[in-house]
Amino acid sequence: MPLSTLKTFLQHYLHSDIQRLVVAYSGGVDSHVLLHALVALTDIHQKPIVLVHVHHGLSQFADDWAIHAQQTAEHYGITCIIKKVIVAKTASLESAAREARYQAFQSVLTTGDVLLLAHHQNDQAETLLLRLMRGSGVRGLAAMPAVGVVPFQTLNTPCWRPLLTVNRQMIMHYAQQQGLQWIEDDSNSNTLFNRNYLRHQIIPLLQQRWPSVNQQLADTSLRMREADELLQELAAIDYQQAQLAESTLNIEVLSKLTAARRNNLLRYWIQQLQLPLPDYADLMRVWSEVCLAQPDAEPLLAWRGVEIRRYQRQLFAMPPLISFNTSLEIQWLDKSQPLLLPNGESLSPIQAFTGINATMWQSRQVSIRYRQGGEKIQPIGRHHHHELKKLLQVQGVPTWQRQRIPLLYINQQLAAVLGYWIAHEFAA
C-alpha cells in the first residue's frame, strides 16, 4: 500500500522543475518506509534523493540515531545531511523542537527541491484532535495538507506528505515485509507530550467504540480543507470590494458584512500581508476596539508580530514599528554611500538626492532629522511656505507615519520631506 500510494502520488505531482527529493528522516518506521519506497521507485521519478536527519540532542541516543541515518543513506547510495540544532527550552518542547526542525530543513533546501514528510493517516487524526482542543477554526481543522509549502520558510519550497491516506498498520506491515531496520524514539512513549497522550490514551479508547476513528477523523480534515477553500474564495471576492491603496481595508465596506463574513475577510487580509494570524478573541477586537473606536481616537491593537491601526476609516496591518529617538540628527558625511537610519533602514543617495540640485548638496552639510513640530516647506509648484503638519494632514499620511518620515536638511535648511516633497529653493 505505501509503495502504490507513493507511486500514484509521484505520477500526479512530479514535474520537470523539481531537481531533488529531500526526505525528512528521523530514523523511525514512518520515515524509513517513505525513504525505502522512494528508493524503490527511482526508475519512475529519476531524481536524486537526499536524506536529512535533524539531530535535536534531546535524547541520550541522539548520536546513535545520527549514525543510523548515515548508515541508511550509505546503504541506499544517497546523500545524507545531518543537521544539529539547539531546541529552545520553552513551555512547549514539542512546538520548539518542530520549529527548530523546520529551520534545519530551511538551511538545506534550495530552488528545485521538494521536502517529503512521512506523516500518515494516524498523524492526521492526531493533528485534528490537537487543534480541536486548541479551539481552531476551519483552517486549523483542515490539519496537514498532502501538498503545501514548507513552514517557517520564505522560499515557498513544496512540501509533500504522500502517505497521508495510509494508516500506521499498513506502514508497519510494509516495514516488516521488507525487513527494514528502524529506530524507536524513547520519547514516543512519554504521555506528558500532548500528541503521545492522544496516541496512547485517547485514540485507543475511541477505537474501542469506533474502530475506524482514524479514518473518520482524516476524512473530516479533508472536508474542512474543502470548506476552507470555499471560505478563501469568498474572502477574495470581499477583498476586491474592501481593498484600498497600500493594502488597507475600507471600514465602511467591512461594516456592511455580517460578523462571520467580516472575520473571514480580516483573516484573509492578514494572510495576504503575510503576517501572523490572531486568535479568535483578538480577531473580534479588531472590529470592536479598532474599527469602532471613537472618531478622534488613535486605536492600536497588537499581537505577536502584528499591529493593527485605523486612520480616516481605513484599517492598517503591519509588523510592529521599531521605536527610536526621533530627536536625533544624523550627519551624512560620505554622501556617496548609503546612510543607516535609527529605525534600522538604509537610505541611498539616489533616494535622497534625486530631484535636488547637485550643487546645493554635494559640498554642503547634509543631515537627516525627524519632525519636532513647527517645520515649514515650500514644495515645488507652490507659491508659499506651508506648515509640514498641514501638508501631511492634507496628503492623508497616517499619524504614526508622520514622525517617522526622514527630513533632509542641507546647511540646516529643510530641503526635502523624503518620499513627498522637495523644497522649491533646492529643486534641480
Same domain for 15 and 146, yes or no, is yes
Q: Identify whether residues 141 and 73 lie together within a single domain.
A: yes
pLDDT at position 177, please?
A: 95
- Residue the block writes with cell 536529512: 52
How would you write the pLDDT of the chain (428 residues) with one tens digit per residue?
A: 889 999 999 999 999 899 999 999 999 999 999 999 999 999 999 999 999 999 987 888 889 999 999 999 999 999 999 999 888 776 577 778 888 888 889 889 999 999 999 999 999 999 999 999 988 889 999 999 999 998 776 678 999 999 999 999 999 999 999 999 999 888 888 888 899 999 999 999 999 999 999 999 999 999 999 999 999 999 999 999 999 988 999 999 999 999 999 999 999 999 999 999 999 999 999 999 999 999 989 999 999 999 999 999 999 999 999 888 989 899 999 989 999 999 888 999 999 999 999 888 888 999 999 999 899 999 998 889 999 999 999 998 999 999 999 999 999 999 999 999 999 999 98
Full residue range of the structural domain in which residue 66 is found: 2-218
Nearest to 139 by CA among 250, 224, 48, 258: 224
Instruction: Tell me which residue of 111, 109, 118, 105 sits closest to 38, measured CA to CA.
Output: 118
Same domain flag for 185 and 84? yes
Is residue 236 one of the residues assigned to a domain? no
Is residue 31 in a domain? yes
Residue 50 counted as domain residue: yes
Does residue 268 belong to any structural domain of this protein? yes
Final residue of a domain: which of 318, 344, 372? 318
Both 107 and 155 in one domain: the answer is yes
Residue pair 410/365 in contact by the 8 Å Cβ criterion: yes
DSSP 8-state assignment for residue 291: I
* CATH number where 250 lies: 1.20.59.20
Final residue belonging to a domain, choices 293, 318, 343: 318
Asked if 252 and 392 sit in the same domain, the reply is no
CATH code for the domain in which residue 149 is found: 3.40.50.620
Residue 267 domain-assigned (yes or no): yes
Residues 343 and 268 in one domain: no
Cell numbers 530514523 correspond to what residue? 27
Q: Are residues 147 and 296 in the same domain?
A: no
pTM (two decimals): 0.80
Q: CA-CA distance, 123 to 143, in Å (whole number)?
A: 10
For residues 54 and 138, state if they share a domain: yes
- Asked whether residue 160 is domain-assigned, the answer is yes
In a domain, residue 227? The reply is: no
Do residues 206 and 297 both lie within one domain?
A: no
- Which residues, 6 or more positions from 1, have their beta carbon under 8 angstroms from its beta carbon? 166, 170, 173, 174
The answer to whether residues 251 and 162 belong to one domain is no
In a domain, 59, yes or no: yes
Same domain, 312 and 187: no
Fill in the amino acid letter for 385.
Answer: H
Alpha-carbon gap, residue 146 to 248, rounded angstroms? 33
Domain count, the chain: 3
For residues 97 and 166, state if they share a domain. Answer: yes
Dihedral, 226, 21, 151, 184 alpha carbons, nearest 10: 100
Domain end point (choices 283, 318, 353) = 318
The answer to whether the beta carbons of residues 17 and 158 sit under 8 Å apart is no
